[in-house]
Structure 1
Amino acid sequence: MKPSEIIELGNGVEIHFCLDAGDTNAQFTLFKVVVHPNAKVPAAHYHENFDETLYGLKGSLTLTVDDETMRLNPGDCCFIKRGRVHSFHNDTSEPAEMLAYANPGVFTAHYFKDLLQVLNAGGPPDLARMKQIMLQYGLVPVAN
């Protein structure tokens, strides 16, 4: 068993990568997301090449999928089929955690590491570069 790789994005979001595409013969990826209160979370987006299932572990997140808004509490799950626009935020005073399962395993920890480089570059993040990274990994940002 290998330990999780933790990627702290510095914006109130931590990614604990459990299994990467290379670990599962590209069948799936599995990671825990910790979202602190008022964290800067990803822009609304959809996935071109993979589906995602979210499972609430701790705390509560507000999740929007297409035009439906819901709470993701511990024990709740939500399947997000590729092509569906989604976003989330933590509007509580406590950290929230969810497990994310993406299949097939085309999504890797490199996505978060590439974003981290942009976030750590100093000054305001280069939004054009962040969009380019999202598109490179099959995430398509959608204007709110």
Structure 2
Amino acid sequence: MVETIKLGGMVLEFLHSKEDTAGSLDMFKMTVLPNARMPVPHYHESWEETVYGLSGTLTFQVGDEDIAVGPGQSVFIQRGVVHGFRNDTQEPATCLSVLTPGVLGPGYFREVAALISAGAPPDPAKIKDIMLRYGLVPVAPGASTKG
């Protein structure tokens, strides 16, 4: 069953998670609204991420490189490499993300979405705590590009 999670300027549709793939992968469709910049630069401790563009164009900052991912294009992000993404266009952009192995699941996104939807601006320390509990390590903008 597909689970939809709204997270600020982003909508995720979880297609598969670690629970239904015996930990093999997490797979979700992600739509990013125009001019959205998400998330904070970070790296993953325990998984790789492959992103395949479906519509629109997202710009991924992977290490020191900006990579535009449009329909039919992809980017592979190794564990330990600092990255983030943004939609600099005036159109929504949609991609398919696959995390291998499947160790994240939708729980991280649910927790961050609940914090964001609470009304007040989210506490950066709480977001950092959630990220670290799920194996995402936030990095200050402009810091080292390797985790």
Number of the residue aligned with 2:5: 7
SS state at 2:24 partner: coil
Number of the residue aligned with 2:15: 18
Alpha-carbon displacement from aligned partner over 1:69-115 (angstroms, at most 9, x marks no partner): 11101111111010001111001000000100001110110100000
Alpha-carbon separation, structure 1, partners of 2:77 and 2:9: 23
AA of the residue aligned to 1:56 = G
Cα deviation for residue 122 of structure 1 reads 1.8
- TM-score between both structures, scaled by the size of structure 1: 0.95
Number of residue pairs the alignment of both structures matches: 141
- The answer to whether the 8 A contact 2:37-2:87 is kept is no
Number of the residue aligned with 2:106: 109
- TM-score between both structures, scaled by the size of structure 2: 0.93
SS state at 1:18 partner: strand
Number of the residue aligned with 1:28: 25
- The answer to whether the 8 A contact 1:65-1:87 is kept is yes
Is 2:123 the counterpart of 1:126?
A: yes
- When the two chains are superposed, the root-mean-square deviation of aligned CA atoms in Å is 0.8
Number of the residue aligned with 1:45: 42
Cα deviation for residue 40 of structure 1 reads 4.2
- Deviating 4+ runs (over 3 angstroms): none
Is 2:134 the counterpart of 1:137?
A: yes
Structure 2: runs of 5+ lacking an equivalent: 142-147
Structure 1 residues 78 and 40 mapped into 2: Cα distance closer, same or farther (>3 Å)?
closer
Alpha-carbon separation, structure 2, partners of 1:100 and 1:70: 15
Alpha-carbon displacement from aligned partner over 1:38-97 (angstroms, at most 9, x marks no partner): 224110100000000000010001111000111101111111010001111001000000
Alpha-carbon separation, structure 2, partners of 1:6 and 1:44: 23
Number of the residue aligned with 2:144: none
Identity %: 48
Is 2:88 the counterpart of 1:91?
A: yes
AA of the residue aligned to 1:94 = E
- The answer to whether the 8 A contact 1:13-1:40 is kept is no
